[in-house]
Structure 1
Amino acid sequence: MSPDTGLVFRTARELVTLMVTRQVSAREVLDAHLAQIEKTNPEVNAIVTLAPERARTLAERADTAIARGRSLGPLHGLPVAHKDLANTAGIRTTFGSLVYQAHVPVRDDLHVRRMVDAGAVTLGKTNTPEFGNGSQTFNRVFGATRNPYDVTRTCGGSSGGAAVALATGMVPIADGSDMGGSLRNPASFCNVVGLRPSIGRVPLWPVTNDHFTLPAVGAMARTVGDLALQMRVIAQPTPRSPVSLPPADFSRPVERDVRGTRVAWSVDLGGLPVDPRVVHAMTPARDLLLDLGCEVVDTCPDFDGADEAFTVQRASAQAYVYGPLLDEYGDQLGDNVRWEIARGRAVTAIDLERAAVLRTELYNRMLDFFATHQFLVTLVSQVVPFDVDLPYPTEIDGTPMTCYREWMRSCAWMSVAGLPCMSVPFTFTPEGLPVGVQIVGAPGDDFGVLSLGHAIEAATTTWRRHPALAL
């Protein structure tokens, strides 16, 4: 079956319109995407579990609804693949771990259920590093996912499979999760859009600790407008989550006049080591903001204490959740997970309290900063996509990296602050590697982040450059 690239590279919003107006059926849309998966996935290994019969049942449900004169919701008939960290009832969910390689959940995570209830057609799962540990997508269950713009390079992670599936037209929307950059880094590496929302904007349920707010579930797409479409569905409060935010209206047009917007600009967040290729690629974004009419100020917030708070809280949580697995399964767990558990088991109660205080102080500094700046625009990743066989960069511009996640501080710091932040496509390096920019907003201003992202997207049209192997 030959894929219909005229369908698979349509925006999600266009596809919904075509289906609800009966110009194309949900089954035809699904078949086009399944054919694209058959053609492209063997080269990149983005979708690791496929559920075509489940998908055909959901697509038939969508077509039957239209025949009866109604739409199923904002995501009517859209094929979607869920990250392999998300529980999907009746579909294998491995978390990228040998321990769970045969695991089949009996219940969907809340955001998965919301997407299906809004008309989405689940067709499978996307690859992730074990338990999301790392911004390079590989594991011992499925192997590595490759960057579609250069298959010798990494796609980033931990939502790497989702980013690649989007970039190659295998799905029009995808979900992801983010603790230290897992939505944003693969989006930048694969020329798609990834939003880590404000704390509580997309409720997490079920979870072990609903007051642990470093992780977030968010949306990924090829365009900002498609990302907003998904947020309409998953960004709703629930009493199940004590940190849920009140509803936000993501159905509004993302287009807006950004003239006069006060934007802080930084290429290194106050001195982080950055690959010169990243600096060279993103520097023109400052002039673009000026061309859009923004007031641009060269400054950035004070992120003092962010590293310590992130390291302590993340390691402690990993030790609590995965420590019992280490005790039972030993070396079936990968190096990154075992390293985090060891770090977490050394954390004291005083360490945890200090981390919470540092995080509180950081949050209050962010409130002060965003009282005088509407947005911060900065780098997403400190490096360009690197060798797919390299677990993580060991140095950046001559500065050694001491662990597998140190090279992602440009994203992790935003996670500690609890800020809405998004990677949006910006440009390519001379060798053809994507580089995005990160837009950061005040707590709760997720929609504002989307609006500025759309303005950049419309000015560059970089998102239209698809990988050659997918065409």
Structure 2
Amino acid sequence: MTDGTELIDRDATDLARMLREEAVSATEVMQAHLERIERLNPYLNAIVDLQSERALEGARALDHHHDQNDRGPLYGLPTAHKDLVPARGFRFTEGSPIFADRIADEDDLIVTRMAAAGAIAIGKTNVPEFGLGSHSFNPVYGVTRNPYDLSRTAGGSSGGAAAALAARLLPIADGSDTGGSLRNPASFCNVTSIRPSPGTVPSGPGSFPYGTLAVKGPMGRSVADVALLLSVLSGSDERSPLSVGLDATELIKPTGRAIRVAWSADLNGLATVDPVVITSLEPVITDIAERLGWQLDATCPDLGPALDYFRVIRAMQLEQALGPLVDQHPDLIKPDAIWNVEIGRRLQGPEIGRALHQAAEIHQAMTDFFQTYDLLITPTCQVPPFPVGIRYPDEIAGTTMQDYLEWMRIPSAITGTACPAMSLPATFTPEGLPIGLQVVAPFRREGQLLGYASLLESALRDRTPTLLDEPVIDTNQPPPDPFERVG
């Protein structure tokens, strides 16, 4: 029998190989992770609606009944699905008291694909209410805490997934991203994620089948793990009209040549960034570029139109999705959601039309930019992980944030470009809080992005740890209150 600590320390790619080769059983792997969850999850509140016996039954079934010649790429890996997607038999709350008792009777497309690849669902991962805002707290399950500092947020909306990965409660997890919800929590928790181009991972059936803002994607503790899960999630589906096929063998392409990289700490002044983020990242970026032989230029395309497009289309979609709930349950929906729905209701046709027209201009501008540069690199987040007791940073470097979106301008603007983007663990603040690096590539060039990211990852790992050192959480102390007031 393999030691449980050794198993939870393994990357998903390595663990899946061991499972397929029968070097370890699915039951052993599941038990190791469930023991870890039992010990640490009360402090983190990352995994919700945990169904341990169901998970063990699934693992035993693989060990005793599964066809040895039919072992998928995620064979035997424990996972938990983000509580914004339905997974049959699990609660599907979206972090809202309106749906606190809802049990899903069907699987989301990504749940189906992960199960077909051999993954075993153990529960859900915590989210903000309706996935809005990059701080995972809600009135159903409470707040998710950062494994590096329990007084700090894990980010969101895929905050539960990021915290679970960082604390090694799970080897791999799915997430979704509209304005940074895969990237922000990855940065805050020192793990890896990719926001794919719209259509790379099918999304449907849904309310906005031709929308480009919201995408689903993978999170992991390495670039290889993210590529592994992306190979499972990607590919066309007739229910998702924008979806495209993707050759999994092309996901990480060779990238030995010298390249030209653009670096911008604040998107040419579009975003206010905490000075500690810039001073922590800039020497890392310079050093890594020199070591890899990459030409580094301080420049950035004009992303103001991309940010405008994001805010207008997001408000329009939120009004359509949540407007009826706001009318029916105004006392059961958080103020930030109501505010954003009201913004959507004030939109005029010409304003929406201009935003849609901007999408074409943005696409051409990014296409032109990437004729000169292979990558655009920025901070993932404008701030380090902030205290769990606040809804969002209302001030950065002396500048007031006017609303709950302004502190997320960097990832939101990249969303508006529709380009694929990753968050990689990069460095830490002097207080030991993680800071991530956002890496952006041309539209639908996920293979190029993952290839360069793998080189960056190797160079960055020479400088900074990527896994949590133990002990980080003092389990001799009682767990904090998951329903600590956030406001």
Fold equivalence (TM over 0.5): yes
Shift of 1:31: 0.6
Shift of 1:19: 1.2
CA distance in 2 between counterparts of 1:369 and 1:54 reads 50
Shift of 1:28: 0.6
**Aligned residue for 1:199?**
198
**Aligned residue for 2:480?**
none
**Residues 234-280 of structure 1: per-residue CA shift (max 9 Å, x gap):** 0111121111123232x457374444111111111101211111001
Output aligned runs, 1:400-415, within 5 Å.
400-415=400-415
CA distance in 2 between counterparts of 1:343 and 1:102 reads 30
Q: 1:298 to 1:390 in 2, by over 3 A?
A: same
CA distance in 1 between counterparts of 2:467 and 2:125 reads 22
CA distance in 1 between counterparts of 2:296 and 2:267 reads 15
Q: Give the counterpart letter for 1:262 in structure 2.
A: R
**Aligned residue for 2:477?**
none
**Residues 389-419 of structure 1: per-residue CA shift (max 9 Å, x gap):** 1111111111110001110110001111101
Residues 44, 147 of structure 1: 8 Å contact kept:
yes
TM-score, normalisation: structure 2:
0.93
Shift of 1:463: 5.0
SS of aligned partner of 1:82? strand
CA distance in 2 between counterparts of 1:240 and 1:255 reads 29
Residues 72, 117 of structure 1: 8 Å contact kept:
no
**Residues 128-179 of structure 1: per-residue CA shift (max 9 Å, x gap):** 0011100111111111111110111111111000000000011000000000
Residues 258, 455 of structure 1: 8 Å contact kept:
no
Output aligned runs, 1:23-62, within 5 Å.
23-62=23-62
**Aligned residue for 1:184?**
183
Output aligned runs, 1:276-315, within 5 Å.
276-283=275-282, 284-315=284-315
CA distance in 1 between counterparts of 2:208 and 2:469 reads 40
**Aligned residue for 1:268?**
266
Post-superposition, which runs of at least 4 consecutive aligned residues in structure 1 deviate over 4 A?
none
**Aligned residue for 1:442?**
442
What are the ranges of 5 or more consecutive residues in structure 1 without an aligned counterpart?
none
Identity among equivalent pairs (%): 44
What are the ranges of 5 or more consecutive residues in structure 2 without an aligned counterpart?
474-487
CA distance in 2 between counterparts of 1:423 and 1:310 reads 19
Residues 65, 72 of structure 1: 8 Å contact kept:
no
Q: Give the counterpart letter for 1:292 in structure 2.
A: L
**Aligned residue for 1:234?**
233
Q: Give the counterpart letter for 1:202 in structure 2.
A: V
Residues 129, 334 of structure 2: 8 Å contact kept:
yes
Q: Give the counterpart letter for 1:131 in structure 2.
A: F
CA distance in 1 between counterparts of 2:465 and 2:301 reads 29
Residues 253, 448 of structure 2: 8 Å contact kept:
no
**Aligned residue for 2:114?**
115
Residues 194, 221 of structure 1: 8 Å contact kept:
yes
Shift of 1:314: 0.7
Q: Say yes or no: does 1:13 pair with 2:13.
A: yes
CA distance in 2 between counterparts of 1:258 and 1:165 reads 34
Residues 148, 469 of structure 1: 8 Å contact kept:
no
User: Does 11-20 or 220-229 show the bigger shift?
Assistant: 11-20
Residues 152, 387 of structure 2: 8 Å contact kept:
yes
Residues 114, 232 of structure 2: 8 Å contact kept:
yes
Shift of 1:287: 2.3
SS of aligned partner of 2:372? coil
Q: 1:36 to 1:306 in 2, by over 3 A?
A: same
SS of aligned partner of 2:329? helix
CA distance in 2 between counterparts of 1:455 and 1:106 reads 42
**Aligned residue for 2:478?**
none
Q: Say yes or no: does 1:254 pair with 2:252.
A: yes
**Aligned residue for 2:136?**
137
Aligned pair count reads 468
**Aligned residue for 1:80?**
79
Shift of 1:115: 0.3
TM-score, normalisation: structure 1:
0.96
